[in-house]
């Protein structure tokens, strides 16, 4: 009975590099052969099966399998000759790390492993191993909330969070925001439907059929959405929406949370609010619109509706948005649960 090869540890990067080598038409045949031997071992093939597949001897297969187990991809390059310097000296590793941490030129904003390899004259697999050991990922960017410059940040933030955590009695807390310029995109050819082995497919070329904007209000403690579509985002439409909320929530005090957009602070809005003791407008601190919970719902809307569909007109898009909102209120509306497990934020 054929014996299976012992398991060989390999990272995802190693597997990808081996696969690239095995399919290469430019690499020397010996490297292609060695990569196929190791790939066969990683896939659980027996020595006999690898011998038949690669037309190699048992001794050759065992040799390169053991070399990879001991030294990884470096082991497949062969042993250095007498007096030859290591492929990756300490100076070369420092050069790779410094390059990854520097700003690239020629119009690029970030480094790829391949471009670092080209710059320093090293294989991409070597660069990958150096960066993994240094825990550097130059191709990735993470985002964080910068500190607000608003001198009243603490007071405004505390007031808004307080409304979320402990709302006043007989009051409704509402988060309002706008999603503007939603494009009604159609494709130049009919969409191909989902089928076994193939996802839904669309042409990369498209045509624009206008835009629509959406203003929405999230009732924080019920999750219900009130919304309407509009052609443009201006103070007149915002004020009209506030009046709609006023009519909907009769005999209830309203605490409306909005960001610092100029239309929210328009003189007509202020004048109307001056005669409405039941409505209090709360502006989020500067650069802190993340405090507005309706932004979470807009993200859900984007994934469920806006991304990936086709529309022949802006009206069709607007109708679908409103249909989705009715469905959401009927089947999914519920309060969002904010959680934070990190260290306390310093204010």
* pLDDT reported for residue 5: 53
Q: Taking a C-beta distance cutoff of 8 angstroms, is the pair 227, 156 a contact?
A: no
306-322 pLDDT, tens digit per residue, is 987 888 999 999 999 99
- Label residue 31 exposed, middle or buried (CB < 10 Å: 0-12, 13-18, 19+): middle
**Taking the domains of the chain in order of start, what are their residue ranges?**
12-77, 90-134, 153-331
* pLDDT reported for residue 6: 63
* pLDDT reported for residue 230: 94
Those residues of the chain that have pLDDT short of 50 are: 1, 83
* pLDDT reported for residue 175: 96
Q: How far is CA 287 from CA 22, 126, 151, 290, 302, in A?
A: 51, 42, 12, 8, 22
Class of domain 153-331: alpha beta
Strand ranges for 197-307 from DSSP E? 206-219, 225-230, 253-258, 279-283
> Does pTM top 0.85 for this prediction?
no
268-284 pLDDT, tens digit per residue, is 999 999 988 899 999 99
């Amino acid at each position: 009975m054929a014996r299976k090869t012992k398991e060989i540890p390999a990272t995802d990067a190693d597997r990808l590099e081996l696969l690239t080598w095995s399919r290469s038409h430019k690499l020397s045949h010996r490297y292609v052969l060695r990569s196929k031997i190791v790939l066969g071992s990683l896939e659980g093939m027996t020595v006999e099966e690898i011998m038949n597949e690669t037309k190699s001897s048992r001794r050759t297969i065992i040799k390169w399998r053991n070399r990879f187990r001991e030294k990884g991809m470096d082991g497949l390059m062969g042993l250095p000759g007498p007096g030859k310097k290591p492929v990756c000296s300490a100076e070369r590793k420092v050069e790779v790390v410094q390059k990854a941490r520097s700003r690239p030129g020629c119009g690029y904003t970030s480094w790829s492993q391949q471009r670092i390899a080209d710059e320093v004259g090293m294989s991409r697999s070597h660069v990958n191993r150096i960066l993994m050991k240094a825990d550097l990922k130059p191709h990735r960017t993470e985002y964080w909330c910068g500190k607000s410059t608003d001198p009243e940040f603490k007071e405004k933030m505390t007031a808004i969070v307080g409304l979320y955590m402990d709302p006043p009695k007989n009051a409704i807390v509402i988060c309002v925001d706008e999603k503007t310029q939603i494009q009604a995109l159609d494709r130049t050819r009919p969409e191909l439907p989902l089928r076994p082995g193939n996802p839904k497919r669309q042409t990369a070329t498209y045509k624009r059929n206008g835009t629509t904007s959406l203003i929405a209000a999230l009732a924080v403690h019920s999750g219900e959405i009130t919304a309407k579509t509009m052609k443009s985002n201006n103070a007149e439409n915002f004020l009209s929406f506030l009046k709609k909320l006023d009519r909907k929530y009769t005999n209830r005090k309203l605490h409306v949370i909005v960001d610092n957009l100029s239309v929210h602070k328009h003189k007509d809005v202020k004048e109307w609010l001056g005669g409405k003791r039941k409505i209090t407008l709360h502006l989020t601190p500067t650069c802190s619109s993340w405090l507005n919970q309706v932004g979470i719902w807009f993200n859900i809307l984007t994934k469920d509706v806006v991304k990936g569909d086709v529309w022949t007109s802006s009206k069709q898009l607007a109708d679908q948005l409103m249909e989705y909102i009715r469905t959401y209120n009927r089947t999914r509306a519920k309060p969002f649960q904010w959680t934070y497990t990190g260290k306390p934020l310093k204010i």
